[in-house]
Amino acid sequence: MIGASHHCQSLHYLAFLVAGLLLSLPTGTITAKAEDSSSIISRFQEYLRINTAQPNPSYYEAADFISSQAKSLSLDLQILEFVKRKPLLLLKWAGKNPALSSILLNSHTDVVPAEHHKWNHPPFEAHLDPSTGHIYARGSQDMKCVGIQYLEAIRKLQASGFRPLRTVYLTFVPDEEIGGHDGVEKLADSDTFRNMNVGIVLDEGLASPTENYRVFYGERSPWWLVIKATGAPGHGAKLYDNTAMENLLKSIESIRRFRASQFDLIKSGHFAEGEVTSVNMVFLKAGTPSPTGFVMNLQPSEASAGFDIRVPPTADEAALEQRILEEWAPASRNMTFELGQFKQRATMHDKYGKPLITSSDSSNPWWRLLEKAVNDANGKLAKPEIFPAATDSRYFRELGLPAIGFSPMANTPVLLHDHNEFLNKDEYLRGISIYESIIKAYASYDEPTKDESSRDEL
């Protein structure tokens, strides 16, 4: 009994020494040893399973999950509600020199709806196919992957003992998929944002079917336009000029020809999708309803059509306006814009009057850092592009801030908003390493003083 007691005391003493040793180690070191790819993938799947599809996203459930991740990384957290029931999460990794401008890593929590019956796997199950490694889920590409990759990259940096020189902010914002008006637009116009002293913004990009990562320095502005035609009603058998339907069809044909000319530029290989103006008709409204459908022997007095127009920042804005007024909706054909204006028209210039473009050459130190960081992580950037659609980046560019669109998904088909959206688990893990390199480079950048810059110029 005496011997057993002595042995027990020795074991307790040994356990005490081990516990003390573990407590003396940096927390990140312990985390790094316990971490494996399965737990990293599991966290991604957990986020994907939260149904944040418009029009009824589970924002608070997503906020709870992000908050738990922020807590595990000891990041400062604010939950802002510029609009009720639309939480915006602001995470902060404090830098050693708060006088330097900060880094902002932006992502949105909402996703577009999914037609469940057209998916091979339920869109909010986050199914991992063991034979291919593909993770099927709405938001796997657009853009829940990016938001969690930011966090996982910071987890790895903390585990390595890295401390940022610059403060790093992460935003998880609502409503990007419906215009961002209650999300980033409100944030960008707030005192909170002005106090963040942001110097560079990273936001979403697109998957790349090749081995090179796509990267975006601008985006096309959305002009959502509704054209309305009016005319005298008439019998369905009567032929006469300037009916509402006839006038609208003339406009549609004119728009179709313009669309074809822009599409031909892409097909020629001389222009990328983001470099041309796209026009797509999204609705057509006409006819006189009846209990069984529509009245067939009555020509309607009104007809309207809606168009989604995307305008690159390099386009001649005045020329397009003139085309709309003279060709697409001339008053001489009883054509008007609904409510007398564009339904939505994003600005094409920042507050200084400059095009909404971020420099993508050596004049921009953030661009140089990004390119080198990706290369250092064994990746390669493709030729910089203009994003074909609109993202939250435009609200930051409107303030004159540089913003770069980038989602590290190579060898991946572009499936955002499509059925069976997926991201391969290995590509997801590789993207974390890419972000680790980028965040480390950005957060370590100590810009030269004016005197040093002058000497370099000399």
Q: Say whether 417 counts as a known binding-site residue.
A: yes
106 forms bridges with which residues in the sheet?
Answer: 171
Catalytic residue among 152, 175, 176, 185: 176
Q: Say whether 142 counts as a known binding-site residue.
A: yes
Round to whole Å and give the CA distance between 310 and 457: 40
Cis omega (within 30 of 0) on the bond before 335? no
219 as an active site residue: the answer is no
**Planar angle of CA 104, 108, 113, nearest 5 degrees:** 165
Measured between alpha carbons, how far is residue 265 from residues 66, 259, 261, 328 in Å?
43, 10, 7, 21
CB 440 within 8 A of CB 181: no
Residue carrying the six token digits 């001339």: 330
- 412 closest CA partner among 113, 107, 206, 137: 206
191 as an active site residue: the answer is no
Q: Say whether 12 counts as a known binding-site residue.
A: no
Catalytic residue among 36, 61, 76, 110: 110
Q: Which two tokens stand for residue 130?
A: 């063991």
Q: Could you list the active site residues?
A: 110, 176
Q: Residues at the annotated binding site?
A: 108, 142, 177, 204, 417
Q: Residues at the annotated binding site for Zn(2+)?
A: 108, 142, 177, 204, 417
